[in-house]
Structure 1
Amino acid sequence: MTRPSSKALYTHLRTQHGGYHRYGLTDHAYLYNLYFPPEALIDHLKAETLNLVRNYPVAQKDLAGLVQKISYIPRENLVVGNGAAELIKIISTQVARRLIIPVPSFNEYINAAPGAGAIEFMLHPPEFELDPERFVSQAVSSGADTAVIVSPNNPTSLGVSPEKIHWMAERFQNKEICFIVDESFIDFCDTASARSMETHLSRYPNLAVIKSMSKAYGICGLRLGYLATENERLLSILKAGVHIWNINGFAEEFLRLLPRFEDAFKTSCRRVINDRDDFYRGLSQIRDLKVFRPDANFIFCRLPDWAPPAADIAEQLFVRHQILVKECSGKTMAEGDRYLRIASRRPMENKVFTEAFFSLLESLGGGA
């Protein structure tokens, strides 16, 4: 069978949502913790493969009990999803009548909302910072019944301070607007933004925290996520919306093992943070490239004005270097074709990316 050209393969991969490991490329597009799970955990899953394949997994109540052991949230306040994406779809289609979310952000909240059910609150360049007063004001004036923020945000990698989140939670509570905080990347946040809202659920009955476990725990293929809230209406809709065996046996077993590896997980996140910070410093040396200081395990940057569009840069990185990167022209944002989201990987891979990126920009004129 003839192997497609690099350009044809890149065109094909742009229509995919994973499976990149089959193509011998370096994936700086999707967002992984490459230091977890540890070998001991993987070895256990291998040894149990036959049992996990042959037998039914447990259902929602027991899955929530497993997540309770790592989140310390009572099981009755938890819903476990087949990735956060399963829960997001239920939120956007069954919970929210009108949902408001700052953009650019994770596209699934908007994509899942039917018709005109989603309101996009624009985050403006050059800083893409969330103005909580404007956000709350637009939520109220637009008749939204559900407000979502992602912190740290995807693709900007910028966290919202806990003080701002508490301020919004109070206002949304007074207006009876369901407030959902997506904390999927909070484990990579080494600033004050790392303080989770999970410990404040009883303070704000309309608050919910949603978290994808895929990114932080390096298990994108296992598909795990959860939502935590004390809001009975939200819990009942989500529990009714997931089917009885929405989590497979491998994911269940992973949850059972996690408490044994709590220290290893924390160590892995510190390694990711250190690698990301070194990567940030390296990219910041590239002339005329605006690099945003990251709070997550990826880096957001604006291309120099003299450089080609982000789509062209992403294609050339793949064709010349077999590196896959996320360009942001598909995001709802001003000048999306000027921005890249770059996942941080291991030090050598980050170094290779930085050198390849610098070389590519230089070959395209270097601003001369």
Structure 2
Amino acid sequence: MSQPAPQSAAPAMDQARVDQARVVEAGFDEAWFAARAQPGVQRLKAYDPGHDLVALRRRYGEANLVELGSNENPYGPSPAARAAILDSLHALHRYPDPLGGDLKRALARKHGVDVKQILLGNGSHELLMQLGQVFAGPGQEVVFSRYGFAVFALATQAAGAAMRIVDALPREAAMPCGHDLDAIAAAVSADTKLVYVANPNNPTGTWFGRDALVAFLDKIPPQVIVVMDEAYAEMAEAPDYASALSVLDRYPNVAVTRTFSKAYGLAGLRVGYLIAQAGLIAVMDRLRESFNVNGPALAACEAALGDEQHLRWACARNAEQRAALSDALSARGLRAFPSQTNFVLAEFGARTPQVEAALVERGVILRPMGGYGLADCIRISVGSPDENRRLLAALDEVLA
């Protein structure tokens, strides 16, 4: 009995070639690849640094540029940290400690926690993103405040979760644009998996005290993880301020992120850490990239922790210059928001874009706030006395 002749695959192959030709003709552009990305990634926008600082340094020369847009410590790191980096260079051919053991032990001693409660990250940015990946996903919600740190939204969208953004306090409030903790707690639903809160907050500089912290955490269900981002905690000197580290034993659903980029003056090394219950850290560690903190960074951060005197000195200088800068801005008829960080949010009104652009032309780089929904404000990092003088001189020219 004769068998039917097999069908030719030629038509299918010809159609595949046609489809491929169309793709090549259209170009493998961003839209083509975005259509193939995960839904959460499709909604993301790349992080906006505000300015191309490398290009501006080349244009003006580093000595002539006043960089006050990235909340860096103008006094730099501890000399001990610099020495530790140099001492570590002989081992660049070796992988760093994948556990970060020495640095974790130093952090555990400083904060009075167990080593198993600490996770290291490539800056706190990486840890905030991973918290979203681990504990949130499609069909779930993440709650945070308007004008909160930009990474909260990035982490939520990347995880494919829904953002529930709570309005901040009005500008007429005692803490203008600060967190409305009661409203954040009220926004938590059965679908909420994470709550992100920054204290003190970037970009507003605002903060809340221990009583408010405890009252807020009392309202959050224990199954909801509360991430307290405390990147600027070392600089907070307000009598009522208290770190969430002080209540970890009382609230096991709280996780605290910190960084070496701000007060410790090590932004170029990108090291952050997370402190939480050992069980949470163990689950997070499953996602951690191997060797995510490099060897010189581990050595420098451990050395910086041992130089408490330099940290106190840098924070004291920052507090002095923050107060002086706020007063100088107020004297020029500008509104300076209250701050417990190393920056001041200043309100310039409708002329904000023109003022910011004119300052850039004078080699003074600040941080525009349009991406945060604060288009009439500029965030000004607290610089050294000389940097602040140069800023104010340029600002006087522009305002005149």
With structure 2 as the length reference, what TM-score do the two structures score? 0.79
| SS state at 2:132 partner | helix
Give the deviation of 1:100 after TM superposition: 0.8
Q: What's the CA shift string for 1:267-326, capped at 9, x where partnerless?
A: 211111111111111111012x1111211110011114xx52x2332211011x101111
Give the deviation of 1:19 after TM superposition: 8.3
Give the deviation of 1:195 after TM superposition: 1.9
Counterpart among 353, 378, 386 of residue 348 in structure 1? 386
Distance (Å, rounded) in 2 between the aligned partners of 1:181 and 1:153: 10
Distance (Å, rounded) in 1 between the aligned partners of 2:301 and 2:247: 24
Query: Quick check: 1:166 aligned with 2:208?
Result: no
* Equivalent residue, structure 2, for 1:206: 253
- How do 1:1-368 and structure 2 match up within 5 A? 14=50, 16=52, 23-24=61-62, 25-51=65-91, 53-60=92-99, 62=101, 63-97=103-137, 98-114=141-157, 115-126=160-171, 127-140=176-189, 143-172=191-220, 174-230=221-277, 232=279, 234-287=280-333, 289-304=334-349, 307-308=350-351, 310-319=352-361, 321-331=362-372, 333=373, 336-362=374-400
* Equivalent residue, structure 2, for 1:6: none
Which amino acid counterpart does residue 186 of structure 1 have in structure 2?
A
Contact 2:84–2:299 at 8 Å: present in 1 too? no
Give the deviation of 1:124 after TM superposition: 4.2
Which amino acid counterpart does residue 312 of structure 1 have in structure 2?
Q
Which amino acid counterpart does residue 139 of structure 1 have in structure 2?
V
Distance (Å, rounded) in 1 between the aligned partners of 2:90 and 2:353: 44
Q: Which runs of 4+ in 1 moved over 6 A?
A: 17-20
| SS state at 1:145 partner | strand
Give the deviation of 1:40 after TM superposition: 4.1
| SS state at 1:217 partner | coil
Give the deviation of 1:175 after TM superposition: 4.9
| SS state at 2:216 partner | helix
* Equivalent residue, structure 1, for 2:25: none
Contact 1:61–1:75 at 8 Å: present in 2 too? no
Contact 1:92–1:110 at 8 Å: present in 2 too? no
| SS state at 2:341 partner | coil
Q: What's the CA shift string for 1:93-150, capped at 9, x where partnerless?
A: 2222421111212111101223453221121431213222211001237x32211110
Q: Which moved more, 1:31-40 or 1:129-138?
A: 31-40
Distance (Å, rounded) in 1 between the aligned partners of 2:391 and 2:69: 12
Q: What's the CA shift string for 1:139-165, capped at 9, x where partnerless?
A: 237x32211110111110011122111
Distance (Å, rounded) in 1 between the aligned partners of 2:106 and 2:55: 28
Structure 1: gaps spanning 5 or more residues: 1-11, 363-368
| SS state at 2:120 partner | strand
Which amino acid counterpart does residue 311 of structure 2 have in structure 1?
F
Give the deviation of 1:186 after TM superposition: 1.2
Shift in alpha-carbon separation, 1:248–1:229, aligned structure 2, 3 A = same
Shift in alpha-carbon separation, 1:190–1:294, aligned structure 2, 3 A = same
* Equivalent residue, structure 2, for 1:4: none
Distance (Å, rounded) in 2 between the aligned partners of 1:261 and 1:94: 34
Shift in alpha-carbon separation, 1:155–1:179, aligned structure 2, 3 A = same
Give the deviation of 1:14 after TM superposition: 3.9
Larger radius of gyration: 2
Shift in alpha-carbon separation, 1:195–1:341, aligned structure 2, 3 A = same
Which amino acid counterpart does residue 38 of structure 1 have in structure 2?
S
Q: What's the CA shift string for 1:170-195, capped at 9, x where partnerless?
A: 211x3521111111111111103432
Distance (Å, rounded) in 2 between the aligned partners of 1:328 and 1:294: 16
Q: What's the CA shift string for 1:58-87, capped at 9, x where partnerless?
A: 122614223223333211111111100110
Give the deviation of 1:343 after TM superposition: 0.2
Shift in alpha-carbon separation, 1:61–1:218, aligned structure 2, 3 A = closer
Contact 2:167–2:180 at 8 Å: present in 1 too? no
Q: Identity across aligned pairs (percent)?
A: 21
Shift in alpha-carbon separation, 1:300–1:153, aligned structure 2, 3 A = same
| SS state at 1:99 partner | strand
Contact 1:292–1:301 at 8 Å: present in 2 too? yes
Structure 2: gaps spanning 5 or more residues: 1-47
Which amino acid counterpart does residue 378 of structure 2 have in structure 1?
L
Which amino acid counterpart does residue 273 of structure 1 have in structure 2?
A
Distance (Å, rounded) in 1 between the aligned partners of 2:332 and 2:66: 21
Shift in alpha-carbon separation, 1:206–1:13, aligned structure 2, 3 A = closer
Shift in alpha-carbon separation, 1:327–1:49, aligned structure 2, 3 A = same
Distance (Å, rounded) in 2 between the aligned partners of 1:55 and 1:77: 27
Give the deviation of 1:13 after TM superposition: 7.6
Contact 1:33–1:216 at 8 Å: present in 2 too? yes
Equivalences, count: 339
Shift in alpha-carbon separation, 1:169–1:13, aligned structure 2, 3 A = closer
Contact 1:95–1:237 at 8 Å: present in 2 too? no
With structure 1 as the length reference, what TM-score do the two structures score? 0.86
Distance (Å, rounded) in 2 between the aligned partners of 1:239 and 1:357: 47
Give the deviation of 1:344 after TM superposition: 0.4
Contact 1:197–1:209 at 8 Å: present in 2 too? yes
